[in-house]
Structures are given as C-alpha cells and as structure tokens.
C-alpha cells in the first residue's frame, strides 16, 4: 500500500438518484485541485468501517479535465463485499478518506471514425465522461437498463441526443442489430455486467468485429464466494479469506504489500504465483494456457476451488 | 462469419482502366460497407500498400485487410530529393523523372508512401556509377 500515491478527499455532498444509485461528489481535503482525469478514468476509494477496509474503484463521471471535484455514482450491490452498502448507508458529507488515482485503462481510441458505446446498467458511468470528451465526433451510446433506473439515467443523459436508453420490459434491445449497422472504422466500447459484455462480444465476433476495435471495462464485481485459506510460502503465514472478501483484500488486511491496480481482473498488476492448490479464475487477464496451468492467480477477483492455496509471496 | 468481402486483384483486371480508378471505386464501396467487412488484395508491392492506405483511410485496421504479393517484383521508387514517384523500376539504378538525378534503389520501403526510397547514387563523385543490373524483374 505504501507504494501507491494517495490523496485525501472530502465528501462535498451525496445525493440519491433513486433507491439503488447514489451520486457522490468529492473535493480535495486541502485547498487546491485534483489532478485532471481523462475520459474513462477511475479512482479507488479507500473506505474503513468497523474494522473492514474497502478499496473500491469507481469510474469518474465528471467531465474530463474537471479538477475542482470528482463525481462518481455508486450502485448498491445486493450481495457483495459491502463497500457499496457502506456508501449508501453511512457515507455523509464532510467525511474524509484517501483516494487513489485517477487512472485510466479505458480510454477512447484516437483512430476511431465512430465511437459506439454499449452500457449495461451502472456500466453507464465511464461513458458519462466519454460523452463530453467525444462531443463533435461521431459517437453513439446505448444503455440497457432496468425499468427502475430509467428515470435517473434519463436525467443523466438529458443533454445528449446521441445517447439512447433501452429499459428492459419496455423496449426490445438488440445489440446485434446495432453492431451490424456500424460503418467501417467504428470502435466498440463495452461496460456492464460480465454476462452482458460476454453476450455482446459473442455477437460482435460473429459479425466479424476484430478484437482490436473492442474495448472493455469490467466491474470485477464477482470476487466473493466460499471461504478459503492461503499460505504465504516465503514466511509461512496463513491467512483466511472470508466469503465476502477478496483475496487481495485479505492480503491487504494482513498488512501484505500486494501489488494491485484496477481491482477488476483486467490489468494484470496483482498476478501472484500459485505453488499449491487450484485457483478459481474470475479475471479477464490470464490466457487460456495460464488458466489451465493453474500456476498464477489474479488476487483482486479470483478465489480457490481448493480449500487452500499456497502463494509464492 | 457474416459480412461482406471485397477482392482487389492486380491492376487492370475487373474492368478498371487504372489502379487509381480501382482505388477510387474501393473508397466509394467502403463508405457504404459495415463493420465485419474484409478486404483482400493481390498485386505488386506499391499497389498493395496503396490498397492498405486506402483501407486505413476508410477505417479498416490490421486484421480487416489482407495483402498478398503477386506478379512482378518491379518497384515504385520515391525520389528522396524531389519527391517524385517513378513507377515500374526493375533496375538497381533509375534516372528520376522529376529532377533527373541518377537514383540508387534502396531496399528501404515506406508503407506510408507505398514506395522504395531512391537516393542519388553519384552525389559524392558525380558521374561515377556502379554497373546497372536488372534486380527486380
């Protein structure tokens, strides 16, 4: 943790967009400005509550370059590690905590002739910074959302005639029809639940989209499951990973300076060598061969099929 | 895989009077195409990279167009002094059609210019030329 640059942010205000979505506005604790962020960037909030520590990444929805405040939207996750529940139930204006970043692993392609953005639910968030960045360019956003989020999302998108909402139950949504209608030079950006993204990627591949024109931002929301234990081979320490805790969080809680960056299984920074045990791979980084080999694990999202993993650290 | 394909075979085939006419038709066609389109081209080196640049201008990327050399090894030469293009060069030396310099045809190929580099061969000792040989039949 020591190696990561953090700064302290204060909650300027919170606002519930609806029962499940909370808009959080952060400002620098001290006088001054935040670093400028680019379209698609995220920050990591370091939150503490009753002995738990969360380090959750959230896409910035503020306009690229905005430095006086950072804005995020947090969906309350039903069954998760608890960070979003904390933000919904306890976070108040005036609270101060460290944030990391901004970082960006989901930037718009400069060579694109057209930008096609497809979002599932809260996957709308990175595109709220794309829209102003791509103003004047050929860009189009489609958001598939639950009916209960339609009103809140419609308000967020009110200024953007190139953004289209597709509430489930009210409208049919055919990603295939949208993908099949795109001119040459279109780049596709995806953010949403894993199943949403996997289904669209499959349709895109069938239509002949090349992977180099598909850009993905993952939530990494699937890092909970059965409890297991890890042994750190170099000093013999044994740690328990709770059902509602990721392996990375368990390492950090124990004071291990484990590397990490995106915390969503995409960037590869938190890769650890596995000496014994069977990993339950949930990342989007390792190759098929690496997964099958079972000798590496991405600590931020992946867990264990065996009750115990021995890690080379 | 669904999606259209467009085959570009060597110049002059398929009713096009010239390579530029073919490339103009290709540009028009690609403006109406949709993602999933694949482009295949066969021909001489310069022609292939003219196709590649036309494809890139239309938004195609590596993996969406495929090039195969066929036919003559003759080179398109770019005069690095006056920027003239000299077509169908089969020899190691060529007289520039733009500035008249005697150029040595290098192996250095520019994908952007779709041409091999030609540099003045007798710049240091005017009039002293190596033997001329047909290297690119």
Return the percentage of chain B with pLDDT > 90, whole number.
Answer: 77
CA distance B90 to B39: 28
Residue from B33, B36, B65, B66 whose CB has the most chain A CBs within 10 Å, to mutate: B36
Which pLDDT band holds residue B12 (cuts at 50, 70, 90)? very low
Q: What is the ipTM of this complex?
A: 0.80
The pLDDT of B119-125, averaged and rounded, is: 93
Contacts of A214 in chain B (CB under 8 A): none
- CB-based contact A185 B34, cutoff 8 Å: no
CA distance B55 to B49: 9
Q: What is the pLDDT of residues A148-182, one digit of tens each?
A: 999 999 999 999 999 999 999 888 889 999 999 99
Tell me what pLDDT residue B8 has. 61
pLDDT over 90 (residue A294): no
CA distance A107 to B131: 55
Q: What is the pLDDT of residues A20-62, one digit of tens each?
A: 999 999 999 998 999 999 999 999 999 988 888 888 899 999 9
Q: What is the pLDDT of residues B63-121, one digit of tens each?
A: 999 999 999 999 999 999 999 999 999 999 999 999 999 999 999 999 899 999 999 99
Tell me what pLDDT residue A81 has. 74
CA distance A298 to A271: 5
Return the percentage of chain A with pLDDT > 90, whole number.
Answer: 73
- CB-based contact A183 B37, cutoff 8 Å: no
Question: What residues does A186 pair with on adjacent strands?
Answer: A114
CA distance A73 to A15: 9
The DSSP annotation for A162-186 comes to TEEEEETTTS---HHHHHHTPBTTE
Q: Are B53 and B46 in contact (CB under 8 A)?
A: no
Q: Are strands B85-89 and B115-120 parallel, antiparallel or unpaired?
A: unpaired
**What value does the mean pLDDT of chain A take?**
92
Contacts of A206 in chain B (CB under 8 A): 1-2
Query: DSSP secondary-structure letter at A198?
Result: H
């Amino acid at each position: 943790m020591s190696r990561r640059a953090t700064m302290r942010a204060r909650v300027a205000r919170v606002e519930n967009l609806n029962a499940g979505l909370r808009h959080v506005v952060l400002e620098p604790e001290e006088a001054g400005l935040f670093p400028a962020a680019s379209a698609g960037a995220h920050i990591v909030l370091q939150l503490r509550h009753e002995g738990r520590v969360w380090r959750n990444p959230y896409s910035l929805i503020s306009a690229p370059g905005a430095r006086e405040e950072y804005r995020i939207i947090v969906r309350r996750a039903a069954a998760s590690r608890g960070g979003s529940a904390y933000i919904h139930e306890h976070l108040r204006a005036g609270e101060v905590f460290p944030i990391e970043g901004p970082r960006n692993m989901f930037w718009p392609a400069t060579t694109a002739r057209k930008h096609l953005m497809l979002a599932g639910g809260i996957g709308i968030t990175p595109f709220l910074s794309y829209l102003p960045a791509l103003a004047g360019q050929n860009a189009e956003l489609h958001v598939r959302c639950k009916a209960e989020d339609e009103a809140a999302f419609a308000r967020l998108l009110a200024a953007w005639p190139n953004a289209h909402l597709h509430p489930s139950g009210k409208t049919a949504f055919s990603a295939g029809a949208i993908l099949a209608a795109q001119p040459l030079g279109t780049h596709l950006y995806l953010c949403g639940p894993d199943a949403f993204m996997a289904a669209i990627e499959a349709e895109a591949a069938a239509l002949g989209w090349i992977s180099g024109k598909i850009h993905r931002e993952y939530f990494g929301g699937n890092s909970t499951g059965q409890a297991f234990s890890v042994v750190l081979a170099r000093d013999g320490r044994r740690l328990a990973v709770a059902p509602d805790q990721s392996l990375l969080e368990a390492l950090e809680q124990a004071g291990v300076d484990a590397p990490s960056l995106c915390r969503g299984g995409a960037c590869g920074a938190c890769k650890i060598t596995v000496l014994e045990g069977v990993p339950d791979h949930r990342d989007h980084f390792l190759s098929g061969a690496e997964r099958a080999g079972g000798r590496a694990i991405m600590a931020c999202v992946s867990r264990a099929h065996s009750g115990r993993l021995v890690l080379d650290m | 895989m669904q999606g259209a394909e467009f085959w570009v075979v060597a110049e002059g085939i398929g009713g096009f009077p010239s390579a530029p006419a073919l490339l103009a038709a290709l540009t028009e066609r690609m403006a109406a195409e949709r993602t999933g389109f694949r482009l295949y081209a066969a021909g001489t080196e310069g022609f292939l990279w003219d196709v590649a640049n036309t494809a890139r201008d239309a938004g195609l990327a590596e993996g969406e167009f495929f090039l195969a050399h066929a036919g003559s090894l003759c080179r398109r030469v770019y005069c690095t002094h006056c920027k003239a293009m000299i077509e169908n060069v089969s020899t190691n030396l060529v007289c520039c059609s733009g500035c008249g310099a005697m150029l040595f045809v290098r192996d250095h190929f520019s994908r952007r210019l779709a041409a091999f580099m030609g540099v003045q061969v007798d710049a240091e000792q005017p009039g002293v030329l190596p033997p001329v040989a047909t290297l690119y039949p």
